[in-house]
Amino acid sequence: MIIRKLVLFGIMALLALAGCEKDNPVSTEKTPFVISTKIDSAWNISGNEKYLVEVKADDPQGVSDLKTAQLTIIDSQENIIFQDSLFDDGGAQSSGSGDLIANDGVFRNQYQATQITSNPGLYYFQIVVEDKEGNQSVIAGDTVEFSLSSPLLLTSAWSPDSL
């Protein structure tokens, strides 16, 4: 009698698990993915300002599974001209990176344009995120124009009180 109940219980458990898998399949995806990037579209190579490069990423196993974010910059002839890491350490080991919160899935670093190139032109910024298992995201990125001047910036405005 006990054996019959155990067998019946086992069969019911297997059927329940099979139905659960069909209704709510378990994800086997392990690849990290990029949610968004933030890169200024124009950089001034004659100035001293720093520009922030940021990528927000996630992983099916959670942001704690993310390991690195690699920045690669390519010129118009498809040559790699610069490579560096973006950081998600809250500035602990990379105080100049601009990263604010450690292990939140937001990787950042800051650069002066002249750290990358002194030549005006269009450059493609590629970012790849890797997790602790070595899985890599698809490439995310944007095109940035390096020029000898910055676009005009409106810093203040006024108008008369009356005409």
Confidence at residue 160, expressed as pLDDT on a 0 to 100 scale: 77
Q: Tell me the sheet residues that pair with 51.
A: 111
Confidence at residue 4, expressed as pLDDT on a 0 to 100 scale: 58
Ranked by mean pLDDT, the top range of 28-32, 123-127, 137-141 is: 123-127
Radius of gyration (C-alpha) of the chain in whole angstroms: 25
Residue with tokens 């927000």: 56
Span 86-113, average pLDDT:
93
**pLDDT of 11 higher than 90:** no
Lowest mean pLDDT among 21-30, 77-86, 97-106, 108-117: 21-30
Q: b/e for 32-57, b at 16 or more Cβ within 10 A?
A: bebeebebeeebbbeeeeebebbbbb
CA dist., res. 60 & res. 40, Å (int) = 29
Q: Which three-class secondary structure state does DSSP give residue 41?
A: coil
CA dist., res. 52 & res. 59, Å (int) = 23
Q: For residue 14, what pLDDT band results from cuts at 50, 70 and 90?
A: low
How many CB atoms lie under 10 A from the CB of residue 82? 15
Span 123-132, average pLDDT:
97
Domains of the chain: 33-147 (2.60.40.2550)
